[in-house]
Amino acid sequence: MTATVTVSGGWRARTVAAAAPWRERGYRTFLTAQVLSAAGSASAPVALAFAGLQVGGTAADLGWILAAGSLPQLGFALAGGVVTDRYPRAHILLTGNLALAVLQAAAAILLLMDLASVGALAGLSAASGTVSAFLEPSTKKTLPALVPAHLLRQATALLQATLNAVKVVVPVAGGALIALTDPGYALAFDALTFIGAAALLVRLPPPVGSANAGRSTAWEEFREGWDVFRSYGWLLLWSGQGCVTVPLWLVGYVLLGPAYAHEHLGGPAAYGLMAAGWTAGLVLGALLCMVWSPRRLCPVAAGVSTAMALPMAAMAVGAPLLVIVAAIVTAGAGSR
């Protein structure tokens, strides 16, 4: 009996500790805003992919739409980090969410009015990617300002667990919605979630500012960050591998996945399940990392990343949907 009480008390104490950040008003507001925007964004890739196919685009056209959204995020990533360190993050968060709401609403209106084209979707995707390049660093760096330092680990874990749960469930529901209605409705929902997130972010405790503003020029900060990055040989090598494997993954899964689901698996509902499988794999990989610490991390990470080839192999042999989803879960776990 004593042992049972002790174990129960231990779990109760861990649960209370894990939920401790929720008592901070700013954190509650921030987490709720992130859940809202994540709920819309989780279904947006499915909607955008099938929107491109709906307007008569080919797999190559779909590639242009997706690349238009991804390339600005890569090109402006460093600039986004510099801006985040020099300007109030609350302003960046609010402006970024409102801008994304406008862009998603514009895409939704074009689709629902049958005015969309591959070029228009690619342009809106590029604009959204540019905004995201500046918004994401601010989102990541805001959290430490909202909770005491001793609660930061629990706050980060609670936020990530919540967002991952949203990203597993929403693509399945979003895929079903798109299959029954129109991709435009999913993008309209995404716009509404960004508006809701912006309304909540206005209530963040002021100000969420920058400690580095005014200390040095943007170029000096950029050069300092680049010098630190290139000083680590293993990081350069790992980044080089990513420059090869990530584009291949994007072409094989993000590009061909929607086209394959459209042609062979019944459409967006199937691709929604595939997208949920990717996030489920990321969650599984994170859990494995918590209990397994390999002695030589980089070789192991490089080896398990080969699992990213499994979904493409499954599609190549015409495997059923559940096998493809299992391959995607495995790939997600390996990439984590």
pLDDT in tens, 136-161: 888 888 888 888 888 887 788 788 77
Pairwise pLDDT comparison (94 vs 288), residue with the higher score: 94
Residues 180 and 144 reside in one and the same domain: yes
Residue 201: what pLDDT? 86
Give the Cα separation of 243 and 72 in Å (integer). 15
In a domain, 5, yes or no: no
SS3 content of the chain, % helix, strand, coil (to 5): 85, 0, 15
Query: Do residues 221 and 307 both lie within one domain?
Result: no
The reported pLDDT for the residue numbered 287 is: 73
DSSP helix/strand/coil, 295:
coil
Q: Residue 102 and residue 194: Cα distance in Å, rounded? A: 9
d(CA 298, CA 291): 17
Question: Quick one: 137 and 92 in the same domain?
Answer: yes
Let me know if residue 262 belongs to a domain.
yes
- Is the confidence at residue 207, as pLDDT, over 60? no
Is residue 178 domain-shared with residue 133, that is, in the same domain? yes
Count CB neighbours of 134 within 10 A: 24
The proportion of the chain whose per-residue pLDDT surpasses 70, expressed as a percent, equals 77
For the chain, the average pLDDT equals 77
**Alpha helices, H only, 76-114:** 77-86, 89-112
Q: In this predicted structure, what is the pLDDT of residue 5?
A: 44
Q: Are residues 26 and 174 in the same domain?
A: yes
Compute the average pLDDT of residues 295-302. 69
Given pLDDT bands bounded at 50, 70 and 90, which one contains residue 279? confident
pLDDT score of 178: 76
Residue 11 maps to a domain: no
From 256, 280, 265, 56, select the one nearest 179 (Cα to Cα). 265
Residue 2 lies in a domain: no
**Total domains, the chain:** 2
**Shared-domain flag, residues 265 and 126:** no
Show the domain range for 276: 233-336
Give me the mean pLDDT over the 308-321 stretch. 85
**Which of 121, 95, 132 is CA-nearest to residue 187?**
121
The secondary structure of residue 68, as a DSSP letter, is H
- Mean pLDDT score, 191-218: 72
Residue 50 lies in a domain: yes
What pLDDT was estimated at residue 17?
Answer: 61
Say whether both 23 and 69 belong to one domain.
Answer: yes
261-288: average pLDDT: 80
- pLDDT tens digits for range 55-98: 877 767 777 787 788 788 777 877 777 787 777 887 888 898 99
User: Model confidence over 6-50: pLDDT tens digits?
Assistant: 444 555 655 666 667 777 788 888 888 988 888 877 777 778 777
Output the CA angle 245-279-33, nearest 5 degrees. Answer: 120
User: How far apart, in whole angstroms, are the C-alpha atoms of residue 129 and residue 117?
Assistant: 18
Q: Does residue 98 sit in the same domain as residue 205?
A: yes
Q: Which residues contact 72 (CB under 8 A, 6 or more apart)?
A: 126, 129, 130, 132, 133
CATH number at residue 187: 1.20.1250.20
Residue-by-residue DSSP string for 138-178: HHHHHGGGTS-GGGHHHHHHHHHHHHHHHHHHHHHHHHHHH
Q: Are residues 211 and 286 in the same domain?
A: no
Token pair recorded at residue 39: 């709920």
Whether residue 207 has a cis bond before it, omega within 30° of 0: yes
Q: Percent of the chain scored above 90 by pLDDT?
A: 7
Residue at a domain's end among 164, 198, 231: 231
Tens of pLDDT, residues 220-267: 766 776 777 667 766 667 677 666 676 667 666 777 788 788 788 887
Do 184 and 330 fall into the same domain? Answer: no
Domain boundary pick from 204, 231, 258:
231
The verdict on 147 and 246 lying in the same domain is no
Q: Which two tokens stand for residue 103?
A: 């862009």
Residues 62 and 180 both lie in one domain = yes
| pLDDT value, residue 208 | 44
Q: What gap in Å lies between CA 331 and CA 246, rounded to an integer?
A: 12
**Residue 326 predicted with pLDDT over 70:** yes
Amino acid at position 4, single letter: T
pLDDT for 70: 77
- What's the pLDDT at 16? 60
